[in-house]
């Protein structure tokens, strides 16, 4: 890969006050974040909503990771709230093509998130219609979930099949495994608890970036 792997802080909370705190923290060390939105249906947990995001002034560029059963219902709000991109789950809908088309019509970037059990062959035809593929290396919905190394084989498979694909990885990333993941040639590594649940989030972000880019 010619481009160094970037670390993207992933913000997950169900509390609007904590959301503001995490945004202000992130603004001190990065210019781009991902917000996780969960509906309690596609995943067991609930989180802040798009409406919460829209109510908080931000100096950051951002994308939303929709862990929701009906992602199409979120798109208008995300566009109005200023999202650069939305990432929805392949497994959440029987008609991903329609959601991609709707997002494009709104001028949103589009990413496709993939749960750990889904084979590459299932979504491969869609890779040319989205901006990025996001592999989940945990079962989605919680900070601090256990990393699933078997997903790494799928990352290698997709990179070999689609050499120019923009590939991201999300879930269970920490200092002990970030270099291993970066060595696979991924473009972005999304990190939540290993940044925001640490004593010094800014220092943790810098250390993870050093490890990823030095891999």
Concatenating the DSSP letter of every residue in 50-85 gives HHHHHTS--SSEEEEEEE-S-GGGGHHHHHHHT-SE
Is residue 51 included in any domain, yes or no? yes
Tell me the two tokens of residue 107. Answer: 């001028």
- pLDDT at position 3, please? 73
- pLDDT at position 2, please? 57
Query: What is the maximum alpha-carbon separation in the chain?
Result: 43
Is residue 29 included in any domain, yes or no? yes
What 3-state class would DSSP assign to 11?
strand
Is residue 21 included in any domain, yes or no? yes
Is residue 1 included in any domain, yes or no? no
Residue 200: active-site member? no
Number of domains the chain contains: 1
- pLDDT at position 1, please? 42
* Burial bucket for residue 139 (CB in 10 Å: 0-12, 13-18, 19+): middle
- pLDDT at position 143, please? 63
Is residue 173 included in any domain, yes or no? yes
70 Cβ neighbours under 8 A, 6+ residues apart: 39, 92, 93
CATH number at residue 160: 3.20.20.70
Q: Which domain holds residue 191?
A: 6-213
What 3-state class would DSSP assign to 151?
helix
Is residue 47 included in any domain, yes or no? yes
Residue 76: active-site member? no
Contact by Cβ (8 Å): 99, 93:
yes
From 15, 36, 166, 200, active-site residue: 36
From 131, 153, 170, 200, active-site residue: 170
Each residue's pLDDT, cut to its tens digit, for the chain (215 residues) gives 457 899 999 999 999 999 999 999 999 999 999 999 999 999 988 999 999 999 999 999 999 999 999 999 999 999 999 999 999 999 999 999 999 999 999 999 999 999 999 999 999 999 999 999 999 999 876 666 789 999 999 999 999 999 999 999 999 999 999 999 999 999 999 999 999 999 999 999 999 999 999 97
Is residue 12 included in any domain, yes or no? yes
Element (DSSP H or E) covering residue 36: strand 32-38
- pLDDT at position 144, please? 64
Tell me the two tokens of residue 32. Answer: 């781009």
What is the 3-state composition of the chain as percent helix, strand, coil, each rounded to the nearest 5? 40, 20, 40
Is residue 60 included in any domain, yes or no? yes
């Amino acid at each position: 890969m010619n481009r160094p792997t970037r670390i993207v802080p992933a913000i997950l909370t169900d509390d609007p006050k904590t959301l503001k705190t995490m945004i202000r923290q992130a603004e001190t060390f990065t210019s781009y974040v991902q917000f996780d939105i969960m509906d309690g249906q596609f995943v067991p947990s609930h989180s802040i909503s798009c409406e919460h995001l829209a109510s908080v002034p931000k100096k950051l560029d951002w994308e939303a990771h929709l862990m929701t059963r009906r992602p199409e219902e979120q798109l208008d709000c995300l566009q109005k709230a200023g999202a650069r991109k939305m990432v929805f789950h392949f497994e959440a809908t029987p008609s991903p093509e329609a959601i991609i088309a709707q997002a494009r019509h709104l001028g949103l970037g589009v990413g496709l998130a993939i749960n750990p059990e889904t084979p590459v062959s299932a979504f491969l035809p869609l890779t040319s219609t989205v901006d990025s593929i996001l592999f989940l290396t945990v079962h989605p919905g919680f900070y601090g979930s256990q990393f699933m190394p078997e997903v790494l084989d799928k990352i290698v498979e997709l990179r070999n099949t689609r050499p120019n694909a923009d590939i991201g990885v999300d879930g269970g990333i920490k200092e002990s495994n970030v270099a291993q993941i970066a060595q696979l040639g991924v473009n972005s590594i999304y990190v939540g608890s290993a940044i925001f649940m640490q004593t010094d989030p800014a220092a943790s972000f810098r250390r993870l970036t050093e490890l990823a880019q030095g891999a």
